[in-house]
Structure 1
Amino acid sequence: MSEEQNQEIGQTLQDARIEKGWSLDDIQQMTKIQKRYLQAIENGQFDQLPGKFYERAFVRQYAGAVGLDADEIVKNFDTGAPEQPVVDTADLEAARVDSDNITRTGMHRETETPVEKTRQVMPKVLIAVAAVVAIGIIWALVSAVSGTSKSESNNSSVAVSSSKVESSESSSEASSSSSSEKASSKSSSSEKKSSQVSLGEGTVSGQSVSYDKVKLPNKTETMKLSTTSDAWLQVTDNNGTALYQGTVSQANPVDVQIPEAATSIHLQIGDATPLKVELGGKNVPLKNNGATVWNAYMQFQR
């Protein structure tokens, strides 16, 4: 799209806003689009927007807010972004514009590559192998204990005095009590470990970071979002359900509830630099290395 078309779109939207007596702050409140992006649209500086897809989405939202025909604006002034979502350098996913002229992004996931599918299946394979090894060790221990018990039984076939019998019973009770305490201690330790969150290592690829081995307890978990300046983002689960969409500000941090049934989440971030993400009290490094538009994927193991 030419610079002249950019200027014409911006001027049309600005004239409609001024005619209604509204400020950019008013438009920001209605559309939830950051003021600096609205200013860039009015100035025809579309290169200041997060990505190509957002040119069409933001223009459509702005037009709807000021009472213009959003479809007519997009038809007359083609922004160069296709109606259907594309995967560009920002790794943006599918999107739609609802009747209220609000852009809903990230409603569909892109087709997974063979490498990604293998990476998802590998943890399950490792868990299955570990389970088989554990069963083998337990069987060997039980067999050894059973053999030892039979041998001791054969060697003690002679009669024993009542005092020895009482001593044996006392020893058995003490051993049983000690075993019960150890089992209780191990169970308590196991439950404590299962309630903790473990992120694993994050892998950076393109404009995204992936955590494929995030361990979560079998319950609803809270993800805390905070920032030193306004940051737009959307959080969706593995079913494409939007768990949160909006702008996080310094004065209004956000708590996002991750359902127990969720096996993964995806964060689409419009300004990753000031954003801080915490999951189960653990800081989640975004590893964006100064990039503004960023994606974060988390695969859960419960």
Structure 2
Amino acid sequence: MSNGNSSAKDRPSVGRTLQQARIDAKMTVDEVSSSTRVRIPIVHAIEQDDFSRCGGEVYARGHVRTLARAVGLDPAEVIELYNEQHGVAPAPVPAAPVFEAERIRPEPRRPNWTAAMVAAIVAVIGFVGFTFFSGDEDDASARAEGNPSPSATQQQQEGGGQQGTEQPDRPDPSESAVAAVPADKVTVRATIQGGESWLSVHDSSGQLIYEGVLQDGQSETFTDDEQLDLVLGNAGAVQLHVNGKEIEDVGEMGQVQRLSYTPGDPEEG
């Protein structure tokens, strides 16, 4: 798409390029919105080169990348055109941790082997000492009370059969979690796996109920009577359970996703 002999101003705008690619792909705005989960008004605005409805520069770049991929364009070339036409320079790596929608790369940490070895040695010494003294106290108590040793009692139980009532079967934890979800509400649980992600959640009244960065292994649960609207900064690292059911293929690493769920989601079939 790019041409080194012509400037960005001589080429069609980003919005016009995305619109023409959509038309060539014989896709409607509704179909693009459904496949990318970018709302229809925002798709229309971007095709008119109006990026004010995207919510900021980071979201605008994320939407442009998502729409380009949906209509068969190279996202990197469209982003390059966007940067040239809007005077956006590549963002420098910040000194402090901030949200980067294009790609979140956790900073590697060097392992402290010395501290780990010292902690392991202390743990082993403590475990051996506890076992030694605990065993002596148990044997002394058993001899003083005239009771058989724990091993003898275990052998008697194995020879004579187990006594007592049988424990009732416990329900599977995952089944209990699904059963606990209210049928008349929408419940979304977001869990981070393999990275980190910025997350914002609005309820059905449009009020912001959560905004922040979740690290690998962290999770949050949100509930509303009618609808929850989510924005995921790094969709590939987010695992979603909606109304007790896992959502497959939330998005790709570095991809910005806007999602909405109601009490009936996800629809069966």
For normalisation by structure 1, the TM-score amounts to: 0.39
Higher relative contact order (CA 8 A, sep 6+): 2
Structure whose residues are more often strand by fraction: 1
TM-score normalised by structure 2 residue count:
0.42
